[in-house]
C-alpha cells in the first residue's frame, strides 16, 4: 500500500480508536450530573469554536456545496447525539449491535449516491467484518438485532445516519477536510441544542454541573476536534465501503478500553470477533470498488 493510500487508513484507525474510548468521558460527565444531550452540546460547541479559530476560512467553503454540507451536518448531528443517548440510556451491547449494522446501509447508499459498486471480494470483506462485529456483540438473551425500545431505535438510527454521513463526505469532493469537519461538528451542536430545547427538559437541572466539570468538558471538546479531522481526512480519501469496514476497529478499542477503564472482561468471543474485524480491515484495501456502469 503506497503512502497516499496508507495515510487515510491511519487517519481512520486513529479516529476509530478515539471513537472507541469517547464513551468514557461521557460516562464520567453523566456521573457528575451532566446528562447526554448537554454533554454532547457542550463538547461540540467547544469543538466548533476551536476549529473555527484554527480554520477560519473553512466557513467560506460552505458556498461550494451548501446542500450536501447541510445534509452532512444534520446526519452527523443525529448520528452522534443518538449514539450517546442510546449507550447511556439502554443496554449498551444491544445498542451497539444495532449501530454496527452500518455497513449494510453503506453499500446501497454508496451505489446510489456515489455510483460505486463492489465486487464479490468486497462483499466478502464486509461480510467478514459484520460477522466479527456480531460475534463480539452477540448475546443470545438479547435476541435478534431488531429494535424494541427507544434506546435501541436510537442505535439503529445512529448507524443509518453514520453510513449516510460517510457517503456524503465523499460526495463533497470540492470541500476541504476542515470544512467537512466544521459541518459535522456544527451539525452535532445544533441537533443536540434542539434536543435540549424540545426533548430533554431535565438538562436544565444539570447546566450548573457543567461549570463544575469544565476541565472534562473542554478536554472532550479538544478530542472531538482531533477526532473529526482524522475521520474526515480518512473518509475523504477512502472509498465509503472500505472506510466503514476500517471504522469497525472502534469496536475492538471499545472492548479493550472497557476492560482497562471499567474492569469489564474480554472473553474468547470478543477476541475472535476482533480478530475477524482486523483481518477484514487488512483486506479492505483490496475491495474492488468501481463506478456503476449505466
Q: How many angstroms separate the Cα of 54 from the Cα of each of 2, 195, 225?
A: 29, 28, 10
Predicted local distance difference test score (pLDDT) of residue 94: 75
Which of 274, 294, 290 lies closest to 282, judged by CA? 274
Cell numbers standing for residue 40: 454532547
Buried b (16+ CB within 10 A) or exposed e, 179-204: bbbbbbbbbbbbbbbebbeeebeebe
Task: Say how far apart CA 158 and CA 154 lie, in whole Å.
Answer: 6
Predicted local distance difference test score (pLDDT) of residue 221: 93
Averaged over successive runs of 10 residues, the pLDDT of the chain (294 residues) comes to 75 89 86 86 95 94 92 96 86 77 85 84 85 80 74 90 92 91 96 81 62 88 94 90 85 80 74 84 67 43
At 282, is the secondary structure helix, strand, or coil? helix
pLDDT tens track for 250-290: 888 887 887 788 776 767 887 888 888 888 877 776 665 55
Amino acid at each position: 500500500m503506497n503512502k497516499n493510500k496508507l495515510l487515510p487508513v491511519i487517519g481512520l484507525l486513529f479516529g476509530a480508536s478515539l471513537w472507541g474510548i469517547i464513551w468514557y468521558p461521557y460516562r464520567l460527565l453523566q456521573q457528575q450530573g451532566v446528562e447526554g444531550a448537554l454533554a454532547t452540546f457542550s463538547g461540540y460547541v467547544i469543538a466548533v469554536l476551536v476549529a473555527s479559530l484554527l480554520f477560519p476560512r473553512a466557513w467560506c467553503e460552505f458556498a461550494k456545496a451548501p446542500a450536501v454540507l447541510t445534509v452532512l451536518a444534520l446526519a452527523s448531528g443525529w448520528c452522534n447525539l443518538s449514539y450517546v443517548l442510546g449507550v447511556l440510556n439502554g443496554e449498551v451491547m444491544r445498542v451497539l449491535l444495532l449501530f454496527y449494522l452500518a455497513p449494510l446501509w453503506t453499500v446501497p447508499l454508496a451505489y446510489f449516491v456515489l455510483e460505486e459498486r463492489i465486487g464479490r471480494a468486497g462483499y466478502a470483506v464486509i461480510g467478514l467484518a459484520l460477522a466479527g462485529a456480531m460475534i463480539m456483540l452477540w448475546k443470545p438473551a438479547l435476541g435478534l438485532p431488531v429494535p424494541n425500545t427507544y434506546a435501541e431505535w436510537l442505535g439503529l438510527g445512529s448507524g443509518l445516519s453514520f453510513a449516510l454521513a460517510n457517503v456524503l463526505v465523499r460526495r463533497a469532493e470540492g470541500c476541504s477536510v476542515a470544512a467537512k469537519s466544521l459541518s459535522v461538528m456544527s451539525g452535532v451542536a445544533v441537533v443536540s441544542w434542539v434536543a435540549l430545547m424540545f426533548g430533554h427538559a431535565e438538562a436544565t437541572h444539570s447546566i450548573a454541573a457543567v461549570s463544575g466539570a469544565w476541565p472534562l468538558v473542554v478536554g472532550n471538546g479538544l478530542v472531538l476536534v482531533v477526532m473529526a479531522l482524522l475521520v474526515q481526512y480518512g473518509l475523504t480519501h477512502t472509498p465509503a465501503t472500505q472506510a466503514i469496514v476500517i471504522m469497525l476497529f472502534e469496536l475492538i478499542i471499545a472492548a479493550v478500553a472497557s476492560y482497562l477503564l471499567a474492569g469489564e472482561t474480554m472473553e474468547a468471543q470478543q477476541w475472535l470477533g476482533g480478530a475477524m474485524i482486523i483481518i477484514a480491515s487488512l483486506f479492505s484495501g483490496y475491495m474492488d470498488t468501481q463506478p456503476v456502469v449505466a
